[in-house]
Amino acid sequence: MLIQEYRVVMPLSVAEYKRAQTYMVAKHSNNETGDGEGFEFTVREACHDEVRGDGIYTEKKAYLSDKLGPWLKQFVPSIFFVCEKAWNYYPYTHTEYYCSFLPVFSIKIDTVYKDDNGNCPNALGISAEQLAVRVVDVIDVADPNNIPAAKKGSVVDLTKFQSQKTRRGPFKKGWVQRTEPVMCSYKCCTVSFSVWGMSNMVESQVAKSIHDLLSVVHAQAVGWIDEWIDLSEEEVQAYEKAMREDMNNKIASTAASAQEAERKGELKGAVDTVQRNSKNLGLGGQVLSSLSGSITNLSGSLSTWWGNANK
C-alpha cells in the first residue's frame, strides 16, 4: 500500500476555489466524455457528518474501456468502468475509486483546502504510522514541466498567462512566495493493488499518473479563471448541472449502441472469467503486465478525480 500526499499550490483563495473546482471538474469531465468513454453521474444527494456537517454525496462511473490494450480487452467486460464515490464537505472531501472488474485495486483520497502556500506539515492530521511512510509531492501548477506532453495543448502556459479580469499572472519561478492570494490543496492518497509481486510497480505508476492529472486540472482551473471568476455559486451549479446532463446523455447513447452490438455478437465480455482467475492468480504475468500499464492510463483519465471535491 502506498501513501502519497500531494500539495497543489494555486494563486487562488479557498473561497474562490469552491467555484473554480465545480466549474473545472464539469468542463474537464465533459471534454473527456465521448466515443464510449467519459463520466456518468449516477447519484447526487445530500449527506451529513457529525464532525463535518452537511455535504453532498455523489457517485460517478468513468467508462474507460478504450484505455485497455487490445490483448487485455479479451478478458474484461465490453463496458468497463471505474466507480467513484465522493463525500464533499468543502473545504474537506473524501473520495474512493474502485474498478468494476478488479476488486484488488482501490484508491482513497482525503483532501483539505487551506489558505497557505503548502507549508502545513500535517494538514490532514494523519497518524504517526502513516507519517512515517508518507511521501510528499509538491506540485507547482505554473511549472510547464509538470504537464504531460499529450496534454500541453489543453493547458495554458501559466508562466506567460495573465488574467484579464483579475490581472493575476504571469506566474514566473518563485511566484508562490510573491503572490496573493495563495492556497494549497492537500491530498493524501492511499493506493492499493493487492497482487503479490505487482503491488509496488502498479502503485508507483498510479501515483505518477495522479501527479500528472492533478497538474493538468489545477492548471486548467487557474487558466480558465476569466470564465468562472464572475459567476455566482448558483450560476456555477447551473453550469455543472448542464454538463452533468450532457455527459449522461453521451454515455446513454453509447451504451445503447454497445448493447445492440453485443446482442449481435459483435462484442465480447468475460468479467466472470477475470474475477475467477484473479482470485487464484491465474491471470499470468502477461496479463498483469498489461494491466499495470493499463491502470496507469486509466488513472490518467479520471478527471474528477483525482483532483476534485466532486460535486
List the pLDDT tens digit at each of the 311 positions of the chain. Answer: 899 999 999 999 999 999 999 999 899 888 887 766 667 888 999 999 999 999 999 998 877 655 444 434 444 445 557 888 999 999 999 999 988 777 788 899 999 999 999 999 999 999 999 999 999 999 999 999 999 999 999 999 999 999 999 999 999 999 999 999 999 999 999 998 887 777 888 888 889 989 999 999 999 999 999 999 999 999 999 999 999 899 888 877 766 665 665 565 554 444 444 344 434 333 333 333 334 444 445 444 443 433 443 44
| Nearby residues of 12 by Cβ (< 8 Å), 6 or more positions away | 20, 181, 182, 183, 221, 222, 225
**Roughly what angle, to the nearest 10 degrees, separates helices 233-263 and 14-31?**
20
The residues spanned by each domain of the chain are 2-299
Grid cell locating 267: 462484442
Q: How far apart are CA 105 and CA 298, in angstroms?
A: 12
Compute the half-sphere exposure of residue 220: CA atoms within 13 Å on the CB side of its CA: 26
pTM of the model: 0.79
User: What is the CATH code of the structural domain delimited by 2-299?
Assistant: 3.30.530.20
Q: What single-letter DSSP state applies at residue 307?
A: T
CA distances from 74 to 102, 103, 135, 269 (A): 15, 18, 36, 7
